[in-house]
Amino acid sequence: MSLNSIMRIGLSGMFSAGTSLQTTGHNIANAGAAGYSRQRTLTGAQRGQSLTYGVLGTGTMVLDVRRMTDEFLTGRLRAQDARLSQFDTVDLALGDVEAIFGSVENNHLGTAMSEFFNAWSSLATPPVTLTLQENVADTAGRLADDFRDMSTSLDELSQDLDSRLENGVDRLNALLTNVADLNRLIVLSESSAASANDLRDQRSVVLDEIALLTQAEAIERDDGTVDVLIGGRTVVTREHVQALTVSRDEGDGTGAGAARVSTVAGGYAVVLGEGSLQGLIEARDKQVLHARARLDEVAAALIARVNALHSQGRTPDGSGVLFFTGDSAANIALNPALADDPTRVAASRSGLEGDTDIAREMAALGQSGASAAGEQGLTEMFNSLVLDLASRSAASGDRLSSQSQLVESLGTRLDSIRGVSLDEEAANLALFQNAYEANAKVIAMVQDMFDTILTMV
């Protein structure tokens, strides 16, 4: 045993305690930082000194500054976050669709449809007057305008979803580039066998944001870099990025084809996993497309049924004409011949004064089961569409709520592992401060012993 050995032991203890204090201070400083994982200084005994009478300890050493996290739980949370992000995106889009259609109690198109059939009901009561015919033509024009306006709103919503998809892919490419840059920095920082904990936290935050856009798989290599895979295709390999781009399937040649995601290199299609990008595609291709199909169904039924009846009618000026033009909500319009001359609105098949059989049958089209075939009334058809949208929105809200609870539960579990507890860190401060002071006393004692020896000489 030598005084120098005791001095080195005290110094090693002071260094170890000082390092632990620095780590604790770092934790406290970053307690509110997003994505920060608390760190712990791991220490261990140095190799002992073998002597004839045994092995003497030689002090302590810092083994590592470890980042406290759970990669398995982090992966689960990212997967569930991706699903939550998708559900949330679809739910928001459904809210936009609902806003376009309104509710059964408060919807513009439903009101316009009721006014149209009420106008025919008024025309069905003799005598037939120009004012009543003009009212039919006016309400028909407003009804057609509402159909087209609603169709335009759905077009704008689809275009907005496409635009958000393109912006989302641009953001995804930026995040993938960020991962590649952090891979390079981590390799440089860890070349001396030290863990780049803060850089790893930064990369983890980026991977968390990527998960909100699309469910990506992150595979860590032995050198500390991560490869990122989307839909089974590698888009980040160490420092190299394979960017994604949005391509369009023009479909029917109208120029409004659906957006698809594919890689630039080789043009290979990438199957997006769950996430907000997939949510945008689902909202557009399923929810908005479904609403449009149902709206076109109502418009086509209105056009076909009204035209079938009106073409049978007669007026003093001649036989009945088609009442509406077009074949969908996008192009439905009142026949210009009727808009220019409302006297051509036919109230009967005979054209005789007091006969209003066509007008009565027109009014009945808005009622449930009015036709001989028991067809659904046109007003009921639209109300059924609105109720269907409300049901879809309610189901989406329930799905979103359930997923939110799952993500919150996983997040709480992960925070219990990597989150900073200020109470715990305060206790650690006191512990390491005492250790530092105790080791300082060992050194002071050795100095006193040296002084004693010197005074004896």
Q: What's the pLDDT tens digit per position in 324-362?
A: 999 999 999 999 999 999 989 998 888 788 888 999 999
Last residue of a domain, one of 407, 427, 448: 407
pLDDT (mean) for 133-148 = 94
pLDDT (mean) for 91-111 = 83
Last residue of a domain, one of 407, 428, 443: 407
Could you tell me if 355 and 432 lie in one domain?
no
CA atoms within 13 A on the CB side of 407: 20
Residue 112 falls inside a structural domain: yes
Long-range contacts of 396-403 (CB under 8 A, 24+ apart): 396/87, 396/90, 396/91, 396/94, 397/91, 399/87, 399/91, 400/84, 400/87, 400/88, 400/91, 403/80, 403/83, 403/84, 403/87
Per-residue confidence (pLDDT) for residue 82, from 0 to 100: 93
Give the chain's mean pLDDT: 87
Residues 156, 173: Cα–Cα separation, whole Å: 26
Could you tell me if 195 and 243 lie in one domain?
yes
Cα dihedral across residues 401, 407, 410, 411: positive or negative = negative
Residue 413 falls inside a structural domain: no
Max Cα distance, the chain (Å) = 142
Could you tell me if 146 and 63 lie in one domain?
no
**Residue 369 pLDDT greater than 60, yes or no:** no
Which one-letter DSSP state was computed for residue 354? T
Could you tell me if 194 and 57 lie in one domain?
no
Per-residue confidence (pLDDT) for residue 1, from 0 to 100: 59
Could you tell me if 64 and 83 lie in one domain?
no
Residue 414 falls inside a structural domain: no
Residues 437, 435: Cα–Cα separation, whole Å: 5
Close Cβ partners of 267 (under 8 Å, ≥ 6 residues apart): 247
Angle in degrees, 0-180, between the axes of helices 130-189 and 289-310, rounded to the nearest 10? 160
Could you tell me if 429 and 399 lie in one domain?
no
Residues 247, 262: Cα–Cα separation, whole Å: 7
Name which residue leads in pLDDT, 403 or 256: 403
Last residue of a domain, one of 407, 428, 448: 407
Proportion of the chain above pLDDT 90, given as a percent: 51
Residue 318: phi and psi, rounded to 5, are 140, -170
Residue 226 falls inside a structural domain: yes
Per-residue confidence (pLDDT) for residue 269, from 0 to 100: 75
Residues 417, 263: Cα–Cα separation, whole Å: 37
Domain that holds residue 349: 75-407
Residue 334 CB: number of other CB atoms within 10 A? 21
Report how far apart, in Å, the C-alpha atoms of 329 and of each of 162, 251, 293 are.
Answer: 21, 20, 9
Could you tell me if 284 and 375 lie in one domain?
yes
Residue 356 falls inside a structural domain: yes
Per-residue confidence (pLDDT) for residue 431, from 0 to 100: 93
Could you tell me if 367 and 451 lie in one domain?
no
pLDDT (mean) for 200-223 = 91
Close Cβ partners of 388 (under 8 Å, ≥ 6 residues apart): 294
Could you tell me if 184 and 123 lie in one domain?
yes
Give per-residue pLDDT as tens, 383-414. Answer: 888 888 989 999 999 999 999 999 999 999 99
Give per-residue pLDDT as tens, 263-274. Answer: 544 467 777 888
Q: What pTM, to 2 d.p., does this model score?
A: 0.83
Residues 32, 11: Cα–Cα separation, whole Å: 33
Instruction: Kindly state the tokens that stand for 329.
Output: 């909500």
Range with the poorest average pLDDT among 156-160, 175-179, 366-370: 366-370
**What total of structural domains would you count in the chain?**
2
Could you tell me if 204 and 333 lie in one domain?
yes
**Residue 372 pLDDT greater than 50, yes or no:** no
Proportion of the chain above pLDDT 70, given as a percent: 92
Could you tell me if 252 and 311 lie in one domain?
yes
Could you tell me if 328 and 218 lie in one domain?
yes
pLDDT (mean) for 206-231 = 91
Range with the poorest average pLDDT among 29-43, 219-233, 261-275, 298-312: 261-275
**From the CA atom positions of the chain, what is the Rg in Å?**
37
Residue 47 falls inside a structural domain: yes
How would residue 256 be classed by pLDDT, with cut points 50, 70 and 90?
A: very low
Report how far apart, in Å, the C-alpha atoms of 380 and of each of 114, 298, 384 are.
Answer: 10, 10, 6
